[in-house]
């Protein structure tokens, strides 16, 4: 079997990992991160929160169920979380050149090449993941055909700008519906699906849009990539909305942006949380939920004033997984209640948000 061209993954600390190409054949760079989920590569690869990152999948066999057709359902691709692959590159241990699934229409290789995304297999992903866990997420570059490229750090730029829409879009418009403004910081399709199926009209706006010129009943702040402190205009607008006591629900990056708008602080995690198996405990209870996550930054709980309380806590490292205001209709979570991929145990939070709408 043809192995593909030889490729190198070089970390900023000088470590090298060799493998073979099974995607587009050009060099690239980004922040190297790992995901410990067993399935869901079509959803993960199209998650805008991965923008600027080289994704390492720790599950050893990838590609065995191929890639589904791009089919639309209610204006959204039904099997993907955005309209394209968002990662800089993909790194796996063993790539399955043959695939089998009733919904598969092409191989992972075909999809990656169509979208010009490099990929490398044959890598010791166990050693690579241990390196990232011990030393922290770091920059890396994939070199093919000896074409070197500089290291690229997506956390030093306003990368949300690259994944947010440019003009507002309205979904499920109906005079009888409650209206929701959705700040698009790189929103996953399933967040919008969850809002629509609860009979809400969704006004999706760019991340830096002055949405207070609109009439609406509630505010949702989406997931997205990069350092939350780069979204200065978004933070400013969220703070203005809070002064009006508008019911607000933040997800992932939205949790961090809400904290910053409330006067709190955020910090970079050593290697982040990226998987579909992160245990989160509902604060002040013994109830634990298994959640989908994809983030590299976290809220500093101690930076929040006494008006806020912790909502969820990560059972693995005790980091913040959500917060809520003690008296006002504001709450947020660090994980993804919309899943895709992963468990839907916390989808009820969308219902809790709807209950807050007047």
Q: Of 185, 231, 252, 280, which is the active-site residue? A: 252
Q: Which of 43, 81, 321, 338 is catalytic?
A: 338
Please report, for residues 140, 253, 273, 316, the alpha-carbon distance to residue 92 in angstroms, rounded to integers and kept in the order given. 15, 26, 18, 25
Burial class (CB in 10 A: 0-12, 13-18, 19+), 106: middle
Cα within 13 Å of Cα(176), Cβ side = 2
Q: Please indicate whether residue 273 is annotated as part of the active site.
A: no
Report the C-alpha gap between 147 and 145 in whole angstroms: 5
Which secondary structure element, helix H or strand E, spans residue 126, and what is its range?
Answer: helix 125-135
Residue 307 is among the residues annotated as catalytic for this protein: no
How far is 168 from 149, CA to CA, in rounded Å?
36
Degrees to nearest 5, angle at CA 207 with 260 and 52: 90
Active site residue 236: no
Residue 74: cis peptide before it, omega within 30 degrees of 0: no
CA atoms within 13 A on the CB side of 317: 10
Structure-block tokens of residue 259: 């904290």
Sign of CA dihedral 260, 266, 271, 277: negative
CA separation for the pair 323, 262 (Å, rounded) = 11
What DSSP state is assigned to residue 336?
B
Helix (H, G, I), strand (E, B) or coil at 309: strand
Query: Residue 216 is encoded by which pair of tokens?
Result: 């609406």
d(CA 160, CA 57): 23
**One of 273, 295, 325, 336 is an active-site residue; which one?**
336
Residues annotated as catalytic are: 252, 336, 338
């Amino acid at each position: 079997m043809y192995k593909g061209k030889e490729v190198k993954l070089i970390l900023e600390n000088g470590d090298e990992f060799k493998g073979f190409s099974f995607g587009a054949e050009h060099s690239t760079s980004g922040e190297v991160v790992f995901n410990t989920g067993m399935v869901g590569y079509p959803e993960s690869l199209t998650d805008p929160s991965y923008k600027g990152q080289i994704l390492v999948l720790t599950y050893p066999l990838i590609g065995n169920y191929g890639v589904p057709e791009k089919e639309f359902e209610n204006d959204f691709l039904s099997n993907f979380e955005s309209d394209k692959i968002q990662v800089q590159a993909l790194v796996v241990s063993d790539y399955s050149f043959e695939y089998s699934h009733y919904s598969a229409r092409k191989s992972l290789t075909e999809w990656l090449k169509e979208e010009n995304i490099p990929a490398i297999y044959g890598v010791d992903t166990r050693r690579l993941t241990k390196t990232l866990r011990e030393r922290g997420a770091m920059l890396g570059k994939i070199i093919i055909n000896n074409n070197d490229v500089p290291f690229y750090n997506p956390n030093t730029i306003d990368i949300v700008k690259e994944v947010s829409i440019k003009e507002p879009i309205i979904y499920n418009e109906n005079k009888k519906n409650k209206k929701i403004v959705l700040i698009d910081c790189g929103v996953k399709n399933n967040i919008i699906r969850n809002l629509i199926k609860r009979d809400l009209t969704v006004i999706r706006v760019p991340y830096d849009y002055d949405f207070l010129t609109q009439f609406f009943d509630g505010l949702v702040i989406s997931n997205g990539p990069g350092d939350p402190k780069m979204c200065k205009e978004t933070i400013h607008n969220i703070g203005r909305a809070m002064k009006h006591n508008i019911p607000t629900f933040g997800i992932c990056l939205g949790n961090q942006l809400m904290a910053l708008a409330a006067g709190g602080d955020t910090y970079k995690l050593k290697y982040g949380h990226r998987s579909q198996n992160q245990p989160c405990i509902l604060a002040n209870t013994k109830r634990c939920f298994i959640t989908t996550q994809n983030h590299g930054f976290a809220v500093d709980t101690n930076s929040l004033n006494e008006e806020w309380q912790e909502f969820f806590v990560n059972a693995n490292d005790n980091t913040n997984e959500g917060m809520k205001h003690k008296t006002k209709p504001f709450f947020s979570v660090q994980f993804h209640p919309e899943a895709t991929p992963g468990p839907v145990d916390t989808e009820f939070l969308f219902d809790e948000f709807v209950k807050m709408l007047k």
